[in-house]
Chains A and B, each alone.
Chain A
Amino acid sequence: MDDILEMLQSNARISIKDLGKLTGKSEKQVEKSIKDYEKKGVIVKYKTVINRDKIKGDNGVIALIEVKVMPQKDVGFDLVAERIYKFPEVKSCFLLSGTYDLLLIVEGEDIQTVANFVSEKLAPLNSVRGTATHFMLKKYKEDGVILEKKDKDKRLAITY
Chain B
Amino acid sequence: MIAKHIDKLAPSGIRQFFDLVLGMPEVISLGVGEPDFVTPWRIREKAITSLEEGFTSYTSNSGLFCLREGISEHLNKKYNLAYSPKDNILITVGVSEGLDLALRAILEPKDSVIVVTPYYVAYPAMVEINHGRPLFLKTRAEEGFKINLKDLKELLKHNPKAMILNYPANPTGVTYAKDELKAIWKLLAKTETFLITDEVYDELTYDGRHCPFASLDKKAKERTILLNGFSKGHAMTGFRVGYACADKKIIDAMTKIHSFSMLCGPIIGQMAAVEALLAKREVQTMVRAYRQRRDFMVRELNRLGLKTNKPSGAFYCFSNVSTEAMDFAKSLLFQEKVAVVPGAGFGSEFNQYIRISYANSLDNLKEAVIRIERFLNKQNGTNQKNSGR
Contact = CB atoms under 8 A, between A and B. Distances in A.
Contacts of B31: 157-159
Contacts of B22: 156-158
Interface string A5-21: 00100000000001001
B255 to A, nearest CB: 27
Given A21-B300, A157-B22, A157-B31, A151 B341 contact: no
Interface residues of A, number: 16
Interface residues of B, number: 27
Nearest to B359: A155
Interface centre among A3, A21, A24, A154 (most CB of B within 10 A): A21
Contacts of A153: 36
Contacts of A23: 292, 295
A64 B195 CA distance: 62
B33 interface: yes
Given A18-B366, A24-B295, A157 B300 contact: no
Contact of A157 (B29, B121, B295): B29
A160 interface: yes
A22 B170 contact: no
Nearest to A155: B32
A158 B333 CA distance: 12
Nearest to B24: A157
B29 A21 contact: no
Contacts of A155: 29, 32, 34, 36
Given A154-B38, A157-B24, 13 more contacts: A3-B292, A7-B362, A18-B366, A22-B296, A24-B295, A155-B34, A155-B36, A157-B21, A157-B31, A158-B21, A158-B29, A160-B33, A160-B341
Interface of B: 17-18, 21-22, 24, 27, 29, 31-34, 36, 38, 120-122, 170, 292, 295-296, 299-300, 339, 341, 345, 362, 366
6 contacts: A153-B36, A155-B29, A156-B32, A159-B31, A160-B120, A160-B121
